[in-house]
Amino acid sequence: MIILHGARRQPAHYDELAGLLYSRGLSVAVPDPYELSLDDSTGLVDDIVPASERQPLVLGHSFGGVTAGTVRVTRDQRWVWE
């Protein structure tokens, strides 16, 4: 799972959720696109996707949701919730 925060948040806001998911056996990444452009934020996530063992679920809030919608993965892998 890749969790993307909004423009006025930071990865630490998702520590509890990420810890809970990780404790249940999920791989969790919470990158920090703070002050990055949409293209750079997308690139940040695009670098994580190939390293994922399974099809990633990309969860985004606010600007993170916009970024999640631009992630370039195959159609079968594209699961975006906002």
What pLDDT does residue 57 have?
86
CA dist., res. 73 & res. 9, Å (int): 25
The C-alpha atoms of residue 20 and residue 15 are separated, in whole angstroms, by 9
What is the pLDDT confidence band of residue 76, given thresholds at 50, 70 and 90? Answer: low
Please write the tens of the pLDDT for every residue from 61-75. 999 999 988 886 544
| Total count of domains within the chain | 1
pLDDT tens digit string along 8-65? 889 999 999 999 999 999 999 999 998 999 999 999 998 888 888 877 888 999 999 9
Residue 72: its pLDDT value, please? 66
Type and span of the H or E element at 57? none
Full domain range(s) for residue 22: 2-81
pTM: 0.81
The answer to whether 5 and 14 have CB atoms below 8 angstroms apart is yes
